[in-house]
Chain A
């Protein structure tokens, strides 16, 4: 049976070139980068090169890249390190209702400590409104964190404008670019970004490694305490193979960016057009243009998303009901809910995310399977209109 993977936003396969660069660092070049001998120096050099490659992907200096265990830790650190460092109850943070749980739950933890958080609304296509950010700022606001692009509906936020508002009020601006990296051009200097979260496994690198970009001079306290790794800011012996893989993945992402965007966007638009043309009562959530190259989020009215997902899986097609963590639980998508979708449509929505190995044949096959399974499930739905 044909296997079609359309869940690149959940995770991507490690590219062969990436794996090849990682492999020696497990059992040949296994030194600790802090060690003062040849084994150590070799590992140190590899980590330094990776840091430069990751920095280059976002237009930062290598000294501003701090490796972490992934996007989740980077988000937690950004929130905890800036706002959590304020005296209890003093900090005010502004974020949005459509952030990843890594950020939302960090903010919830802040609130438990008596700090306050404003969650900005989004419009029906999933965009934060800059004027809403302006209005939410008060004299205690110490951090604004708005994601670069949303993982469920792909909405690309007006980051330059949002960062400018924060900058001119003297407030630190953080963005979760886990989904945007490798899919959009990013230049932290031009955009006025103070902190930015990255994760390797969304850009064809390994899982369990990511980075937080911290602009020189940004006031942030440490989150993981211990040894003096990462310029004494993030302790723990480096995940050298992971960092090396992340570096290679970043280098490939930067090199292939234009081709990747062009090819993936074309396939995405073809997919959306075919969904709308071939299957009745389907709607696309989010914007057609300001959208991540590989993101498709669709509502298949009258059928429940998890049943559809199961039917697709039986047919070898991998999609998602939203973020990977939501698929295991019954919670309806907080993103679609924030966009104001009626609840029954929230339950009827699926996310498909395309990537570098997706082909037109994959899309054609998926549309034809969807056509059949949507018909099948609608035939016995109590909501189907006669």
Chain B
């Protein structure tokens, strides 16, 4: 008995893609210690496709499990495909999170967006999925 299902627990105890990489093509982070959670994501990108993803997360069990599935899901995807993923997709992949924990998965969505935003800026890319995205906007990150 735990507050999480087996899949969440498995991603928490054995997270995929945890750590950093050498010479990442993009890095993004979201959250802050003040909110009690923070995620950093590093991406290897070749020809607009995410070849590899790594994460480092300070956060609760659901934040860590979401980071694990999120990095898993974006691998092999184009930047546009990755941008189209939302935290709900990560929650669904995890087979659900307790209501009060759903917001923890937003961390992954936002960290991914920020990493790709930085990459797009450096490479002068116009990405559909970044239209209207402002990394400095005050984000509704309620705790």
Residues of chain A having any CB pair with chain B under 8 Å: 302-304, 306-307, 310-311, 313-314, 329-332, 343-344, 347, 379-383
Q: How far is the CB of B8 from chain A (nearest CB, A)?
A: 10
Nearest B residue to A342 via CB reads B33
B12 / chain A contacts, CB cutoff of 8 Å: 307, 310-311
* The 8 nearest A-B residue pairs measured at CB: A344-B33, A380-B18, A306-B60, A382-B56, A310-B61, A382-B40, A347-B36, A330-B143
Q: Do B55 and A310 touch (CB < 8 A)?
A: no
Nearest B residue to A328 via CB reads B100
Nearest B residue to A330 via CB reads B143
Q: Do A332 and B36 touch (CB < 8 A)?
A: yes
Bound-state CA distance A314–B13 (Å) is 9
Cβ-neighbour of B57 out of A313, A330, A332, A380 (below 8 A): A380
Bound-state CA distance A78–B38 (Å) is 42
Q: Do A380 and B15 touch (CB < 8 A)?
A: yes
Residues of chain B having any CB pair with chain A under 8 Å: 2, 4, 9, 12-13, 15, 18-19, 29, 33-34, 36-40, 55-61, 63-64, 100, 143
Q: How far is the CB of B57 from chain A (nearest CB, A)?
A: 6
13 residue pairs of the A-B complex, CB under 8 angstroms, read A304-B36, A304-B63, A307-B59, A310-B61, A314-B2, A329-B100, A331-B143, A343-B34, A347-B33, A379-B18, A380-B55, A382-B39, A383-B33
Nearest A residue to B142 via CB reads A330
Interface of A: prevailing SS: loop
A347 / chain B contacts, CB cutoff of 8 Å: 33, 36
Q: Do A306 and B57 touch (CB < 8 A)?
A: no
17 more contacts with CB within 8 A, not counting A307-B63, A311-B12, A311-B13, are A302-B58, A303-B58, A304-B36, A304-B37, A304-B59, A306-B61, A307-B12, A310-B60, A330-B100, A343-B33, A344-B33, A344-B34, A380-B18, A380-B64, A381-B58, A382-B57, A382-B58
A382 / chain B contacts, CB cutoff of 8 Å: 29, 38-40, 56-58
Nearest B residue to A345 via CB reads B33
Q: Do B29 and A330 touch (CB < 8 A)?
A: no
Q: Do A330 and B56 touch (CB < 8 A)?
A: no
Q: How far is the CB of B81 from chain A (nearest CB, A)?
A: 25
A303 / chain B contacts, CB cutoff of 8 Å: 58
Q: Do B56 and A381 touch (CB < 8 A)?
A: yes
Bound-state CA distance A383–B31 (Å) is 12
Q: Do A307 and B61 touch (CB < 8 A)?
A: yes
Bound-state CA distance A379–B64 (Å) is 12
A306 / chain B contacts, CB cutoff of 8 Å: 60-61
Bound-state CA distance A379–B13 (Å) is 13
Bound-state CA distance A313–B33 (Å) is 24
Nearest B residue to A321 via CB reads B60
